[in-house]
Chain A
Amino acid sequence: MTWRLASVAVAIAGVVAAPALTKAAIQGQPTDLKLVISTDSQGTPPRFAVPDFVALTPDASEIAKTLGQVLWDDLNFEREFYMIPRDTYSSIPVARTPEQVPFDRWRELGADGVVFGTVQRTGSEVRVQVRLMSVRSRQSVFAKEYSGSANNPRLYAHTISDEIHDQQRGLKGVARTKLAWVSDRDGVRLGDTVENRQVKEIYYGDYDGANQRRVTVGRRLNLNPSWSPDARALAYTTFRPNPDVFVSLIYQGVLQNPTKGIGTNYLPVFSPDGKQIAFMSGRDGNPEIYAMNVDGSNLRRLTNTQAGDSSPTWSPSGSQIAFTSDRTGKAQIYVMNSSDGSGVRRLTVDESEADRPTWSPPPFNEIAYAASTGPGYDIKVLVVSTGEVKRLTFGEGSNEGPAWAPGGKHLAFTSTRAGGRTQVFTIGRDGRGLRQITREGNNQTPAWSN
């Protein structure tokens, strides 16, 4: 790694909703500009600091405080930079302009890059300016302005984080992604039964657990959400009480029902191109895997055994589907061609039971699954090309329901480790960086959006 620093500050106005504007301008810079910050020590990530953002208007102070903390958390999550703990630089004066930056103090702290931001509020609108300064060159290597609604300040921090990762590391960050899951937190009793059963609704929230909200409103049992690749739709099973696949276009308030109440339908999952849905159905008298176009057309049955076939997941190219079957006794993970179900091959060989395969996105070609490891389950990852198996959890409660983040650097899963209730967590692909996402009620079967 070498020092590559900017000699020119690039200030570009853009709105949060249109980050694409900014890239064109950077590409217009001369190619010998050094915009990427690295350290002079081989093999260690650059050390970054994010002091509090400066409120330029009094009513922006709360937003400014939020932005600094959330941006630090976002940058810390990807682990591309070593994020210096914020309390170690609370005494360093904050800067409103690049000229005011006390570079000597930051140098003394060992920071390679410092992010400065200002927030100006006008009624319900905010204007956020942010710069990433190289401490060594004392130059701004990233400078942008964002303006828009003051409703969700965290979105500005998430956008800045994703753009810094894109510019500095060529990485598609996950700060603007969402998690969806099933929750019984409402504590509402299901209406269509005399037994005491709680409704379970589909919820979603930011990748860090903020802004959690309910998708379904039917006060029914809803299970197993799956994101469309454009992150604008969720497929899931609703029991009315017949279990059926629904697709909710969550930003339009449109509900579609591609399986049309024909038989029992569960476990829908979008193909990587968003054009198809694979699912489990009992419509022919036994749980089998089917695939269809998202509008329900082109239905085809992919498995045909006396056993139970469940939990389909698409390969990154969409040409294959991995699934769970107990055709040899206990649940194991298999793979087949998605066109016609041919080419069936068993993937798990050393597990007593394995379920909920989830195929990683590129560049990895791995399948995460829940493996029976004693009284409960643990999350494991199978490298498809070599058959190598890695383990991410080690019996801290029962761990189920793995779901890859886009880019494959993180997974979401559920665990009973925090007090016995089932909660959603995220974890790095190396098993580090555990974060608890949900705390209310029981929460299960997470899905991670693009």
Chain B
Amino acid sequence: MKEMRNTTIVVAVTLALAVTAACGKKKVATGPQPPPAEEAPVVTPNPPAPTERVEDRTPVAQPLADESITNKSLDDLNRDSPLKPVFFPLDSAELDETGRAIAQANAGVLKKYSAWGITIEGHCDERGTAEYNLALGERRAVAVKTYLSSLGVSPDRIRTVSYGKEFPFDMGHSEDAWSKNRRGHFVITSK
């Protein structure tokens, strides 16, 4: 799972670079570019080649990726966050291999942007009572914080909160929805 995810990220970045290079100054955009895709489904195997219609539009200068992140507002940063959620197994507050890999990637981002302060929100799926899930979410948030600390991210930059099952990411009632809701969600709170 970890390897697959890493592979798709590499593919995504490569394709994005290739498209950018191919477009050159003819590359057109009407607004800020979104950061590189991080979710596998975004990338199609065969991105369409630039067409003639692209050349009809006016080129717009784009800031480099790093500047784009630094200049973004907190809301914009969090809307398309470089910090990915860490998912948990059912009724567990232990990071599995996939979770640790995501946390490691997040730790890398946090080391790069060392001024950022974050809150880690512990969330749960709808199974389990509201009260129990507050405790479980608390343990999930703390587990992520502890792991990030072990990777060298200062705990002083990290606050934790449990939202229990109050704020599901996916409102569905399926295994798929539940798996998305058992998460440590990262929020950038200062920069």
Contact = CB atoms under 8 A, between A and B. Distances in A.
A82 interface: no
Given A355-B131, A401-B130, A282 B163 contact: no
Contacts of B159: 242
Contacts of A356: 129-132
Contacts of A221: 163, 166-167
B170 to A, nearest CB: 11
A287 interface: yes
- Chain B CB within 10 Å — which of A193, A308, A370 has the most? A308
A264 B128 CA distance: 21
Interface stretch (B29-37, B39-47, B99-107, B134-142): B134-142
Contacts, number: 95
A123 interface: no
Contacts of A331: 128-129, 132
B162 A267 contact: no
Interface residues of B, number: 27
A197 interface: yes
Interface residues on A, range: 35 or more
A146 interface: no
Interface of A: 193-195, 197, 200, 221, 223-224, 239, 241-243, 264, 266-267, 280, 282, 285-287, 308-311, 324, 326, 330-331, 353, 355-356, 370, 377, 400-401, 444-445
Interface string B124-158: 00001111101110110010000000000000000
B132 A310 contact: yes
B75 to A, nearest CB: 5
Instruction: Kindly name the residue among B119, B135, B167 whose own CB sees the greatest number of chain A CB atoms within 10 A.
Output: B135
A243 B132 contact: no
A197 B30 CA distance: 29
A308 B138 contact: yes
A339 to B, nearest CB: 23
Given A194-B79, A377-B129, A444-B130, A308 B135 contact: yes
A280 B160 CA distance: 15
Contact of A400 (B75, B130, B167, B187): B130
A310 B119 CA distance: 22
B166 A280 contact: no
A355 B131 CA distance: 7
Contacts of B138: 264, 266, 280, 282, 286-287, 308
Contacts of B119: 241
A96 B159 CA distance: 68
Contacts of A444: 130
Contacts of A400: 129-130
Given A267-B134, A310-B132, A195 B139 contact: no
B130 A445 contact: yes
Interface in B106-128: 119, 128
A331 B136 CA distance: 10
Contacts of A286: 138-139, 142
Contact of A285 (B93, B130, B142, B167): B142
B78 interface: yes
28 contacts: A193-B187, A197-B167, A221-B167, A243-B162, A264-B160, A264-B162, A266-B134, A280-B135, A282-B138, A286-B139, A287-B134, A287-B139, A287-B162, A308-B135, A308-B136, A324-B132, A326-B132, A326-B135, A326-B136, A331-B128, A355-B131, A355-B132, A356-B130, A370-B129, A400-B129, A401-B129, A401-B131, A445-B130
B132 A194 contact: no
A308 B93 CA distance: 10
B125 to A, nearest CB: 13
Contact of B75 (A194, A200, A311): A194
B161 interface: yes
A242 B161 contact: yes
Contact of B132 (A241, A311, A445): A311
Contacts of A311: 131-132
Contacts of B163: 221, 239
Nearest to B187: A193
Contacts of B142: 282, 285-286
